[in-house]
Amino acid sequence: MSAVLYDPEALLDQEMPLDRAPITALVDAMLARKDASGLRAGDCAQIALLLTGHARIVAAEVSRHFEALPKDSELRPVTDQVLQEAKRRLSVTSQTTLAHAQQRARLVKALYRALDQLLKPQPAPSL
């Protein structure tokens, strides 16, 4: 049994390991939806809260890797842009609509893309 945690202040971000597979499946399912038919009242709200909490955790992880980048890294500008967009989107109060849950799903996807880029082995700087 898994628990869904509501952590709007991201207090747990350094203590919880990322469980990517179920979140990725949820992201894909939400982005594939054309409408909210079949969802019970409150489902979109709960999904948005779950994705918001996960986005905060992934954003914190991306931020930690971003801070460790060399100042002249080519990844800095694009990663900074992703982090700024995440900060802007996460500052918006969570809503109960499918569109909002899908927006959160797109944010999680973008953050994971940035994290994957940061985790790729980088070429050694030339001397």
pLDDT digits (tens, 9 = 90+) for 17-74: 678 999 999 999 999 999 989 888 799 999 999 999 999 999 999 999 999 999 999 9
> What Rg, from alpha-carbon coordinates, does the chain have?
16
Question: Who's near 76: CB < 8 A, 6+ residues apart?
Answer: 66, 69
How far CA 68 is from CA of 46, 72, 95, in Å, comes to: 34, 11, 34
How far is residue 124 from each of residues 113, 121, 127, measured CA to CA in Å? Answer: 22, 9, 9
Give the percent of the chain with pLDDT over 70: 82
Q: Where are the domains of the chain?
A: 20-119
Percentage of the chain surpassing pLDDT 90? Answer: 70
Q: For residue 108, which of 66, 67, 65, 48 has the smallest C-alpha distance?
A: 48
**What is the reported pTM?**
0.82
Report residue 2's pLDDT band, with 50, 70 and 90 as the boundaries: very low
